[in-house]
Chain A
Amino acid sequence: LISEGLKRVILDQLGLDDWDLQPGTTAAEVPGWDSLSHASIIAAVEDAHGVRFTVREIVGMENVGQLQALLDRKKG
């Protein structure tokens, strides 16, 4: 499942009050989450959780579930 913390950071960046973010949700399904906003969402997630992703990890992410799994792995 997607943690409340991750969900809040993403929605804040997109200016959305609420959205049903599931592990299989892709960026294209969320209003405003496109190639231009993707990098700033990732940067905000990094800042909020004190982690750093590599370029390959960022480019290779295909859905919110992969972002959550990567975040969990980084935080140990």
Chain B
Amino acid sequence: MLLDQPVFLLFLGFSLVAFRLTPVALRWRTLLVLSLLFYLSFSAPALLLALIAEAGIAWAAARGAQRAGDGPARVRWLVGGAAALVAVLVCVRIAGSPGALPAWWPAGGRLATSLGVSYFTLQAVSYVADVSLGRIRAEPSFGKVLTYLALFPKLIQGPIERAGSLLPQLDAPRIPGYEGLRSAALLFGWGLFKTAVLGERLARIVDPAFARPEDFGGLAPVLAAYAFAFQLYFDFSGYTDMARGTARVLGIELTENFRAPYLASSISDFWRRWHITFSRWLLDYVFAPLHAAWRRAPILGTAGALLVTFGLSGLWHGFAWHYLVWGFLHGSGLAVESVARRLRRGAARGTPGGRLAGVLVTFHLVVLAWVFFRAPSVGAAMAVLASVLQPAGGTARLVDAAGGWLPVGLTLAACGGYALVSWGRKLRVFDTLARHAPVRWAFYYGLVVAILLLRQDGAGFLYSQF
């Protein structure tokens, strides 16, 4: 049961009733039961066991670290706990990658999916680390730690929440009033429009060019690469909006994960705007300790810490060379930026023209790296890039492969509509317009009609596979 399926709305309605009938102080238990039922709906009970095992490890390691006081035992609890959690993740990911397993591997040791495990593992590690570093107190209740990891709106693909932000919200979650429910529904609907209409329609342009790069040349692969950049953004940020809207209905506020990432003026700026909860996790729990340990080698230490951090970021997406190359491309870009920053220290601030150039260069570097992310292998990514140099003329074929000019035109028009609405929101045009009920309801109905008429069924959320 994914968030964009009609059955999920039934589940959400049922959840609201169950939530409403539970005393406020006990609602986290209702959330826990609902979250476990939600996870069971994917017919992978082994994953539920992995979730409970990780919650147990995190709960015990955090309590152990807290009891250990300030001594070296605290570090041992942190390292031991994190290693055990990562071991569970690696085992599940290996068992869930049928192509990576040898033929003799027993059927009982294979998993059809590893949905959600990468996400709750990162949260479990962050919980143990935050307690070990003295940022938060260990939670005495195992059930609450399990609820923190399992909370169903964010179980499948984040946001990657911190215990310090989520655990206190479990104490007394309340269903919001009309205004809260209205904003939650709008967030959910807007997210569904982004993922089911924009993301899925862009996929029609992306998929053929990446499946058969030899059939396309010239502008076509460039268009496909741009289309993928926006497909991934709409798909992933759309899911996050839906997750945040769902959680808001149940009185929980989740963290914002995207902030106009393609307007970033540098790679470091991009990572402050793209998958924010993941990049903060990497920064706090991988980069910061590595950088601190290697601080005596200012340039090499920084570059090394960035490369290792982003290499691991690539591998988190999958044990494959093309993800590693994607990670290293970002790590190298950040390393170059850090050296440039050292050389430029004290120089005058950039001009608006320089910022625009920074946005364009950053966007194209990010798109280039996305080619390695999207392609199934490094060789396939190189084939897509090489196809740019092939004779032009593939654009019409790509449009044909995407279903013709009408769907492609509709997709581009819908993307234009999205840009217009986003721009209007930034300029606060809607704050004024939304005061008029007819305008507001016309927008709501327009959004629903657009979703019903233009939605495409696809392969589900892209980031749920990681």
Determine the chain B residues whose CB is within 8 A of the CB of A3 once the complex forms: none
Query: Of B15-23, B236-244, B285-293, which stretch is located at the interface?
Result: B285-293
A58→B288 CA distance, assembly (Å): 9
Which of A15, A36, A42, A62 lies in contact with B292, CB distance below 8 A? Answer: A42
Question: How does the 8 Å CB contact mask read for B112-141 relative to A, with 1 for contact and 0 for none?
Answer: 000000000000000000000111000000
* A15, A42, A55 — most chain B CB neighbours (10 Å): A55
Known: A36-B302, A43-B295, A43-B296. A59 touches B341 (CB 8 A): no
Which of A35, A36, A38, A43 lies in contact with B341, CB distance below 8 A? Answer: A36
Determine the chain A residues whose CB is within 8 A of the CB of B102 once the complex forms: none
Q: How many A-B residue pairs have CB under 8 A?
A: 45
* A15, A42, A43 — most chain B CB neighbours (10 Å): A43
Interface residues of B, count at CB 8 A:
23
* Segment 9-67 of A: residues with Cβ below 8 Å from B: 15, 35-36, 38-40, 42-43, 55-56, 58-60, 62
Q: Nearest chain-A residue to B293 (Cβ)?
A: A55
CB distance from B136 to the nearest CB of A (A): 12
Cβ of B283 within 8 Å of any chain A Cβ, yes or no, is yes
- CB <8 Å contact, B292 and A39: yes
- CB <8 Å contact, A38 and B291: yes
- CB <8 Å contact, A15 and B338: no
- CB <8 Å contact, A36 and B268: yes
Which of B283, B291, B295, B346 lies in contact with A15, CB distance below 8 A? Answer: B346
Determine the chain A residues whose CB is within 8 A of the CB of B133 once the complex forms: 56, 59-60
Determine the chain B residues whose CB is within 8 A of the CB of A39 once the complex forms: 291-292, 294-295, 298, 301-302
Determine the chain B residues whose CB is within 8 A of the CB of A35 once the complex forms: 283, 287-288, 291
Q: Nearest chain-B residue to A39 (Cβ)?
A: B295
- CB <8 Å contact, A55 and B292: yes
Cβ of B75 within 8 Å of any chain A Cβ, yes or no, is yes
Cβ of B426 within 8 Å of any chain A Cβ, yes or no, is no
CB distance from B330 to the nearest CB of A (A): 14
A36→B303 CA distance, assembly (Å): 10
- CB <8 Å contact, B268 and A59: no
* Segment 273-312 of B: residues with Cβ below 8 Å from A: 283-284, 287-289, 291-296, 298, 301-302
Determine the chain B residues whose CB is within 8 A of the CB of A43 once the complex forms: 295-296, 298
Cβ of B345 within 8 Å of any chain A Cβ, yes or no, is yes
CB distance from A14 to the nearest CB of B (A): 9
Q: Nearest chain-A residue to B295 (Cβ)?
A: A39
* B268, B295, B341 — most chain A CB neighbours (10 Å): B295
CB distance from B255 to the nearest CB of A (A): 16
CB distance from A28 to the nearest CB of B (A): 12
A60→B135 CA distance, assembly (Å): 8
- CB <8 Å contact, B338 and A40: no
29 pairs of residues in contact across A and B, judged by CB atoms under 8 Å:
A15-B345, A35-B287, A35-B288, A35-B291, A36-B291, A36-B302, A36-B341, A38-B288, A39-B291, A39-B294, A39-B295, A39-B298, A39-B301, A39-B302, A40-B298, A42-B292, A42-B295, A43-B295, A43-B298, A55-B289, A56-B75, A56-B133, A58-B292, A59-B133, A59-B284, A59-B288, A59-B289, A59-B292, A60-B134
A residues whose Cβ falls under 8 Å from a Cβ of B: 15, 35-36, 38-40, 42-43, 55-56, 58-60, 62
B residues whose Cβ falls under 8 Å from a Cβ of A: 75, 133-135, 268, 283-284, 287-289, 291-296, 298, 301-302, 338, 341, 345-346
